[in-house]
Amino acid sequence: MELFKKTHFDFIGFRWFPISVSFIILFGGLAIIMVKGFNFGIEFTGGALLQVSFEKPVSMEDVRASLTKRELSSEIQSVNLAGRSAFIIRHKGTEERVQNLANELVGALNEGFPGNKPVIERKEFIGPVIGQHLKSQTLWAITLSLLGIIVYVGFRFSNPLWGLAGLIALAHDVIGTAAMISLTGKEMDLLIVSALLTVAGYSIEDTIVIYDRMREMNRIMYKEPLDKIINVSLNDTLSRTVITVLLVQIICIVLWLMGGELLKNFGLALVVGNILGSYSSIAVAAPLVYEWDRRMKGSRVSLPAQAPKPQQAQQQGKKKR
């Protein structure tokens, strides 16, 4: 399936504009994260956890509306308890405030549902020690994932430069998405962390497809200059890349617009990350490989071994015989 006919864009000739934009996003995103920080969720900061039930059926939307009226923005999860309406409510706060938070939440529910008194079945505090542990694990998960990607790409294409170029493009996608979360004040929770890792995996997979085409074309067009090989490879895979990202984006947009409160931010992060990932795979990763090779004075050390010339192939055949 092709969305459009074969294109002939000069990606390498105009490489500096997208590369410059990517580095602006990369370093600008880092600046935003460092200055503004994240609005960490209860998993990272600690807070109160309440499980409440109602005698009569109650919808999650009504519970959320009752808490919002009292400016108690909380994370709400529905629980099935033998036909009763039960909910787990998480609200950020210190351990000293747990009791006050519990009273505020119950007061808001009593006000929102007169005649249907909520019953507190569980009340806990998620401590900051757990939150700090999760932060540490999150950083390790992202760091090890990125290192693993460099090793895998370097091994598969026999050159760590390819992995490094892919990592720069991938970092652009993850940091750009994280900066959007920071700038908009969206809550950084474990779902967003999983979204960032998903963006990283999707981005490097798209980059590997382009790299694989570059390796294949280098064996076929070994007499051609490197910029032509990369341009042909990018144009050959462009239709596939666009079709893939459009199909993925349809699902992500549905999650963003119709996934409910818990999945809304997750879907938004995937939408932004997929756009950045497709852009960097096409316009950043491969051009970085070319720029490195150009600065090495055209030695083409950045590409896998080229196909032998016909005379060399005949000589190798004679030696084997």
What pLDDT shows up at residue 95?
Answer: 63
pLDDT tens column, 263-279: 888 999 999 999 998 89
Mean pLDDT of 225-231: 88
Q: What are phi and psi of 188, to 5 degrees?
A: -85, 100
How far apart are alpha carbons 215 and 235 in whole angstroms? 14
306, pLDDT greater than 60? no
- The token duo for 33 is 């994260």
Domains in the chain, please, with CATH? 16-40+130-295 (1.20.1640.10), 47-126 (3.30.70.260)
Q: What is the tens place of the pLDDT at every residue in 19-47?
A: 899 999 999 999 999 999 888 877 777 77
Residue 2's pLDDT is: 64
Top-confidence residue, 320 or 33:
33
Is this prediction's pTM over 0.85?
no
Q: Would you state the pLDDT for residue 321?
A: 47
What would the mean pLDDT of 168-173 be, rounded to a whole number?
A: 87
Q: Which residue has the tokens 């947009």?
A: 253
Q: Tell me what the pLDDT averaged over the chain comes to.
A: 80
pLDDT in the model for residue 189: 82
The C-alpha R_g of the chain, in whole angstroms, comes to: 26
Q: What is the pLDDT of residue 127?
A: 67
User: What residues have CB less than 8 Å from 22, skipping those under 6 apart?
Assistant: 169, 172, 279, 280, 283, 284
Strands 47-54 and 119-126: antiparallel
Helices and strands in the chain, H and E counts: 11, 6
pLDDT in tens, 46-92: 777 778 888 778 888 888 888 877 777 677 777 766 667 788 887 77
Those residues with Cβ within 8 angstroms of residue 111's Cβ, 6 or more apart along the chain or in another chain: 66, 69, 70
Indicate whether 18 pLDDT > 50. Answer: yes
> Per DSSP, what are the bridge partners of residue 92?
47
